[in-house]
Amino acid sequence: MSRIAESLIPEARLTDLNREEMSRYSRHLLLPEVGLEGQKRLKASRVLIVGTGGLGAPLALYLAAAGVGVIGLADFDTVEVSNLQRQIIHSQRDVDRPKVASAQDRLKSLNPQLKVVTYNLRLTSDNALSILKEYDVVADGTDNFPTRYLLNDACVFLGRPLVYGSIYQFEGQASVFQAGRGPCYRCLFPTPPSPGLSPSCGEAGVMGVLPGIIGCIQAAETIKLILGGAETLAGRLLLFDAWLMKFTELSIERDPACPVCGEQPTITELIDYEHFCGLNREETGPPVESLTALELKARLDRGDQLQIIDIREPHERAVFKFPGGRAMPFGQIIRRKEEFDPSVDAVFICKVGQRSLFAIRSLREAGYQGRLFNLKDGLNSWARDVDPSLPQY
């Protein structure tokens, strides 16, 4: 199947460029692959960017600069200081503002002729179709599996191309999923990983420039889809390792048994994606007990005997050490379980309280009988609620 894409923009929507636009986009007009006709297509196009973080920032900036006529921004988060290391669409003065508002201001300052539509909300099965249907291309700048599967399924149902990108530490991926012209996201990843096996940037970290590189690749693919006449990443998965500075390309095929885009689809409407990704399934066994930072401090202040197990990696503990914590990285928990004293309560700590939760569940499955507590919201909550002199990293 040919991957040469035809333009998504119908001739009836094209309008002339004004004098200012001719000047602004002059370097595009000099390219025979773009030219006047292509720039008109960009002007007539409508692109929805889901997520205005690391990937969404370069995506939005370069599409705005390129002359895309309407950019939709969907995000429900606010700007945090830790975002600024990589989310270059925001600035220090935007901290605590809704990300879509901050991004809208930046895009309008870059290109006043651009129309920006903001959705300060979480995309769900209830609202996704009504929002996505207004756009020609959907670009995925998200960082969670429920939204990725939601976007994929919605784009298949609506016949919209989905420009995919993801990042992890020093590695990134990019592709184009376009129903009828190649595989969809489910063809590549039929099922999501078990919760906790794929940590977020907030837990695993990310090289600041990496989302810029992957986001720019997504922007290039989006522009090519709008212009037409180019070979896109449909049917190909582009892998990038920033540490080794190496690109790798894998061929991916449409799965005839895919439950969404296959020959006999079994998923014909949007589903509960939180449940599909295992985020709201009932836990087997007793629930994990937790302590807030203030509750842990109270127990320490009154001299309770506790085993405090710091499961962070050595480079994380270098940021700050927790007083009295025993260093035991997550990967060592099971083989070192004999070091625990079942008669003494154990409190597991990590950065945000997710890895420690899974460490406790792993210990239970391994047969440990002692009482286990999770520090709720992790050491960031300790730095916030108990000792503000410590960094929230």
- List all residues 6 or more positions away from 174 whose beta carbon is below 8 Å from its beta carbon: 163, 164, 165, 214, 217, 218, 221, 233, 237, 238, 240
78 DSSP assignment: B
Indicate which residue of 184, 187, 258, 350 is catalytic: 350
Q: What is the C-alpha to C-alpha distance for residues 181 and 235, in angstroms, rounded to an integer?
A: 8
Q: What is the C-alpha to C-alpha distance for residues 223 and 231, in angstroms, rounded to an integer?
A: 12
Residue 4 β-bridge partners = 231
The structure tokens listed for 186 are 């489910």
Query: 237-240 long-range CB contacts below 8 Å, 24 or more apart?
Result: 237/173, 237/174, 237/175, 237/188, 238/173, 238/174, 238/175, 239/171, 239/172, 239/173, 240/171, 240/172, 240/173, 240/174, 240/210, 240/213, 240/214
Half-sphere exposure of 86 (CA within 13 A, CB side): 24
261 classed as catalytic: no
> Exposed e or buried b for every residue in 45-72, given b needs 16+ CB within 10 A?
bbbbbbbbbbbbbbbbbbbbebbbbbbb
CB 339 within 8 A of CB 358: no
Helices and strands in the chain, H and E counts: 15, 15
Indicate which residue of 155, 187, 201, 261 is catalytic: 201
CB 317 within 8 A of CB 310: yes
Q: What is the C-alpha to C-alpha distance for residues 116 and 125, in angstroms, rounded to an integer?
A: 23
277 classed as catalytic: no
Helix (H, G, I), strand (E, B) or coil at 3: coil
Catalytic residues: 201, 350
